[in-house]
Amino acid sequence: MTIFLFMKKNYTIADIDTIKANIGNLTFKDETLSFDDQLAILSHIGQSQKASLNIPYQQKASEIIKNWDFLLKKQKNNQDLKESTSLYLFPELFEPIFKAKAETKFTFIDLFAGIGGFRLAMQSCGGRCVFSSEWDENAKKTYLNNFGEYPFGDITLESTKKCIPDNFDVLCGGFPCQAFSIAGYRRGFEDTRGTLFFDVAEIIRRKRPKAVYLENVKNLYTHDNGKTFEVIKNTLEGLGYVVYHKVMNAMEYANVPQNRERIFIVCFDPQQVPNHANFKFPAPVKLTKTIHDCIDEGEKSQELFYTEKMNHFKDLQEGITSKDSIYQWRRQYVRENKSHVCPTLTANMGTGGHNVPLILTENGIRKLSPKECINFQGYPAKYEFPKNISNAAKYKQAGNSVVVPLITRVSENIISVITR
């Protein structure tokens, strides 16, 4: 019987914060494993076993289970814990909203996983995720809520890299874009976030996947007069990969009503994928969806609406006049998106200011809800944010995410090449 089945048989549910309070660090062969490390290992092991991969943390998992079994039984009568439970885990670990298909065509890893846009795309193509990593605590909770897996943490740490299994097929990652974005300071590799690409390169060098699939802001291509992208492309080619790249807009290539341009970088190892020249980026498609396909007309949450007590309310009333457009407050005036799509969603739109998309409804002027924001990123209707994170965190996650239908279209073309 596998560890995964053992856990499923013996563990029940508790709130993540409650169980974290009752599980401390664990020392394993002079290595300290935090609660997050332990949860990541336990939630990953079932996926790796199903993919028949050599699991680098098998012994750690056994030790963690023994430790949790002891500590949680000891806490059985603690008033903070539910009376009906003696052992804890989260139902999401075993009952994810989005499951991998039973028949696995290929395996992949999900770096800088965010809330799982790449995973949704790759699973829909028949892939099984065997490793995920993400540093943001709230994004990890959202990922767990939907995929039953808690991502590993800081990918710059050698201890995290050592948890990546061998022999997976595709490396996926929307590596952090703040260093290259027009919205940031554009310091590129001078910004420590920009250097995270080199951790990706190191993983590629060690693991030699068949394909690499990266996404970033459009400005990456032109940053520092093209020198930043040249460094990235030369690094990938220096590792022996053939590099394909293209800038695409979600409203032009994915039938998603958001003006969101991103650069897509797809690489193949020619030794493992000799037919790589068959790869093509998807062709444009007609935009038939409108903002109304993403907006919940029945949304009435009071915290979303603007009132007379707020600054510039009269200006908003005068400028926001159509229910078929999305607007933004640009510090001193209202700007309408004339193409009648959503402007590019950003990570800081939950903090107020000029990045907040605004709409006119029957009930007044309001900002988009977090759920509507992921609708504009093309997430499935049943995708859910967990209840124990703030709206600000949800907006950040939505703005940092990818457009799932466009990620999926590129994924389909990658998989058609590597599985032939």
- b/e per residue, 298-333, with b = 16+ CB within 10 A? ebeeeebebeeeeeeeeebeebbeeeebbbbbeeee
Helix (H) or strand (E) holding 327: strand 327-329
Query: What angle, 0 to 180 degrees and rounded to 10, lies between the N-to-C axes of helices 227-238 and 196-207?
Result: 20
Helix (H) or strand (E) holding 200: helix 196-207
Residue with tokens 């080619």: 237
Closest by Cα among 419, 372, 417 to 399: 372
For residue 34, the tally of other CB atoms under 10 A from its CB is 14
Q: Could you give the dihedral angle defined by the CA atoms of residues 247, 251, 255 and 257, in that order, rounded to the nearest 10 degrees?
A: 150
DSSP characters over 120-184: HHHHHTTEEEEEEB---HHHHHHHHHHHS-PPB--TTSHHHHTTSPSS-SEEEE----TTT-TTS
The Cα-based distances of 195 to 53, 179, 236 in angstroms read 30, 9, 14
In a 3-state reduction of DSSP, which class is residue 243?
Answer: strand
The amino acid that residue 237 corresponds to is E
The whole-angstrom separation of Cα 228 and Cα 221 is 7
Q: Could you give the dihedral angle defined by the CA atoms of residues 122, 125, 131 and 134, in that order, rounded to the nearest 10 degrees?
A: 20
In a 3-state reduction of DSSP, which class is residue 14?
Answer: coil
The Cα-based distances of 19 to 75, 79, 147, 248, 307 in angstroms read 10, 13, 19, 43, 41
The amino acid that residue 179 corresponds to is A
Closest by Cα among 46, 42, 24 to 33: 24
The Cα-based distances of 152 to 134, 159, 355 in angstroms read 6, 10, 31
Q: In what order do the strands lie in the sheet with 106-111?
A: 127-132, 106-111, 170-173, 211-217, 261-268, 242-249
Q: Based on the residue annotation, tell me whether 373 is a catalytic residue of this protein.
A: no
Q: Which of 163, 177, 267, 342 is catalytic?
A: 177
Query: Looking at the annotation, which residues are catalytic?
Result: 177
